[in-house]
Structure 1
């Protein structure tokens, strides 16, 4: 009798465990923003959805694109959140992502444009302009005149003083490459990038690393997104930010659901969460000063004013195409990378 009763109790316990396991959801996210913002998003989502566990890793856009290509047909990721839009568009073109079916009516035009040109497979979550930062102390100590334009970076006085990311792994650096091609024409762009390469001391994997190095005085000049530079300057580092005189490109950070996601309902819920005004308004809590895509979101005072920057008419459809990216990177590997010291 006792044995039968014990078995019945155990059966009930196992049934409860199985039921609770079945009810508990999860969403697997790759985050291509800065780690503090990744953490805030994961924690805030779990707080609103206590039955869903966020399994998140941080990777650059180039690394993420490579991973979801390798896992096509059997994805381990549900959502790709953050990072420059060009690789998100490439993933959409290669049928690695799927339409999210979310409402974009409250988003700004540039965010809706990402949604439209990808047939709903990706959508813009923030924007940020490309620029140059320099460490005031480093340049003053060495008697170097600060740059004001992209072409200034070819000056021999900057030898060994410039740091920028590698466009093969960094969406930031790919945006730089595509910006140069659109500003100067392809042949002249590669000539200039090779000349600048003679002054480059390191091509980093991460797009945010160069400005952090410039802030610490490990390099004199960095190329990256202005919102990251603003964060470092607001932390007290001696950085000055330059919007290059010729004009500059910009990113539209994006979010995409991976095709064949094993947790599609949670994935859509994540995208809807990421597009909300109240959630986007929390980005400055982590020192992230991009311009949010929701028209009702609050824009931090520290965020660069895009209307005051000479922005090019960045062609996301062309430079977010797989073949374009492949060709530009191959030429960069051949002509630009070997020029660096």
Structure 2
């Protein structure tokens, strides 16, 4: 090899090494549905191919507990998609890095942290709903419910599945919303009566709807996105909004305090509220953190936004531990085994 060739080879290897070093890997904790992760990562990488996302995914409640357990030794760089109420809890523990992403002014004020700069920013809203299997309901003589109260009637005994609030953000959203709607005494009384009809509490918020879609239960207390998708995929279900109103929370994102990958983390949070990101979220969710972008989602309940209760996310975050302790004491006996 002559000197000129050797120089070119060395330069090429140096460039390749520099290119390899340029890629930043982010550990991203999420509670997003598993079938969304690849699509969201691919959309982000179209604009930022130099940042690789390494997902750590579980139900919202499990991810929240994992983050709290790692408080003194954080393993995540970014949280992309857990409940806003969970992020408020993490914020109170000093675990989030405040950051105002580009375009933060476009967010609906309800769907971002109120501090300046915000500790977290929203993506989309997910809302409680009931998935009802029309075939199984007719076969078993179980009518379509129109209210939460209906689910306590004798004909629903053994035909209702809902998520465990300790492991599922959707389950916690249900429980906290019932306590806000009716007050503690009436809220726990409702859950006592509902418990009598529950077949099982799952550790996933989407599983009750998947079970209803598969005919494994008549009624699955879940969330609207999963119900709409299951119905669009051909499942014989109706996605119902109970008449008393529904709980909701905001899927949101934040930077984990202490990450040594600040620049890449900020890039991801910047992208998470862009119109491009909102269009990705809108593939499944009908209400977005940035107004004016959402298009109708097939089979999404038409009255969803009007049925959303006035939700105090701060109250939800502050009372989380006490609510879960009381719920577990009363109802844990019907939880499915943890995998």
Q: Which moved more, 1:209-218 or 1:261-270?
A: 261-270
Match in the other structure for 1:151: 149
In 2, Cα distance between equivalents of 1:305 and 1:254: 23
- Cα distance change of structure 1 residues 238 and 124 upon mapping to structure 2, 3 Å threshold: same
Question: Is structure 2 residue 144 aligned with structure 1 residue 139?
Answer: no
1:178 CA displacement: 0.4
1:153 CA displacement: 1.0
Question: Is structure 2 residue 108 aligned with structure 1 residue 108?
Answer: yes
In 2, Cα distance between equivalents of 1:128 and 1:63: 18
Equivalences for residues 148-187 of structure 1 within 5 A: 148-187=146-185
- Cα distance change of structure 1 residues 160 and 268 upon mapping to structure 2, 3 Å threshold: same
Match in the other structure for 2:23: 24
TM-score, length basis structure 1: 0.89
- Cα distance change of structure 1 residues 339 and 36 upon mapping to structure 2, 3 Å threshold: closer
1:219 CA displacement: 0.6
Which runs of no fewer than 5 residues in structure 1 stay unpaired?
A: none
Q: 1:334 aligns with which of 321, 329, 338?
A: 329
Which runs of no fewer than 5 residues in structure 2 stay unpaired?
A: none
Match in the other structure for 1:225: 223
Match in the other structure for 2:68: 69
Deviations 1:203-225 (A, max 9, x none): 11110111011001001101111
Match in the other structure for 2:315: 318
- Cα distance change of structure 1 residues 106 and 314 upon mapping to structure 2, 3 Å threshold: same
In 2, Cα distance between equivalents of 1:38 and 1:176: 25
Contact 1:215 1:232 in 2 (8 A): yes
RMSD: 2.5
Match in the other structure for 2:294: 298
Match of 1:206, SS state, is coil
1:269 CA displacement: 0.9
Deviations 1:277-332 (A, max 9, x none): 122112354xx2241112242323434445663221111111022xx100000000
In 1, Cα distance between equivalents of 2:137 and 2:303: 27
TM-score, length basis structure 2: 0.90
Match of 2:104, SS state, is coil
In 2, Cα distance between equivalents of 1:262 and 1:221: 46
Match of 2:295, SS state, is coil
Contact 2:163 2:170 in 1 (8 A): yes
Contact 1:28 1:78 in 2 (8 A): yes
Contact 1:149 1:244 in 2 (8 A): yes
Match of 1:72, SS state, is coil
Deviations 1:244-282 (A, max 9, x none): 111121111111111112211111111111101122112
In 1, Cα distance between equivalents of 2:275 and 2:301: 19
- Cα distance change of structure 1 residues 42 and 93 upon mapping to structure 2, 3 Å threshold: same
Contact 2:120 2:253 in 1 (8 A): yes
Match of 1:309, SS state, is helix
Match in the other structure for 2:211: 213
Q: 2:279 aligns with which of 278, 281, 290?
A: 281
Match in the other structure for 2:52: 53
